[in-house]
Amino acid sequence: MGYKPKAPPIMAEPNVIPMADIMLVLLIIFMVVTPMLQHGFTVDMAKVENPEEMQAADRDDAILIAVTRDGRYFLGTTQVSLDDITGKVKDLLSNRLDKTVFVKSDARAKYGTVVKAVDEVRSAGVDNLGLLTEKLETTRKAPPPPTGQ
């Protein structure tokens, strides 16, 4: 009789190390992607010289209305019609103490479209309305040195 190799004994418990590696990779992917999903619809906001800081707009529970260049309205990430804005904002504000709504519009959106959105938000009983803008990045040249004459 020749030598017959023996198989190692069967392990009773599963090997969870590869599963833990996969879970960590998935966790990192979700941690990176989630903040990108929370800020609703992206528009190229108007740029101004002296914007006012509005940290409350970055909170997760902030109410954001976005007006796109082609005149569509978004409440957070969902598209809404102009007539639905008042009712939906009222529902969102019903159990809040801070009745602030932020409106961000594309710089190339029609003025009348943005005014209609602001009117609908105002009629929902909003205390404060914030219009979101971006800081205008200007490259100012230093004034020329005075000439000694």
Per-residue tokens: 97: 């103490």
Q: What's this model's pTM, rounded to 2 decimal places?
A: 0.59
Separation CA 75–CA 65 (nearest Å): 5
Residue 39 has pLDDT above 60, yes or no: no
How far apart are alpha carbons 117 and 124 in whole angstroms?
11
Amino acid code (one letter) for 10: I
pLDDT tens digits, one per residue of 98-119: 788 888 888 888 889 889 889 9
- Domain 47-135 indexed as CATH 3.30.420.270: yes
Amino acid at residue number 57? A
E strands in the chain: 47-48, 63-67, 73-75, 78-80, 100-105, 128-132, 134-135
Residue % of the chain over a pLDDT of 70: 81
Q: What is the pLDDT of residue 1?
A: 62
Token pair for 148: 């000694």
Q: Which residue has the tokens 């040195």?
A: 145
Residue 124 CA from chain centroid, whole number: 22
* Residue 43, amino acid: V
Q: Match 């230093």 to its residue by tokens.
A: 142
- Helices and strands (DSSP H and E) totals, the chain: 3, 7
pLDDT band at 33; cut points 50, 70, 90: confident
Cβ(45)–Cβ(105) under 8 Å? yes
How far CA 11 is from CA of 7, 8, 14, 16, 22, in Å, comes to 12, 9, 7, 12, 22
Mean pLDDT computed over every residue of the chain: 80
Domain ranges of the chain: 47-135
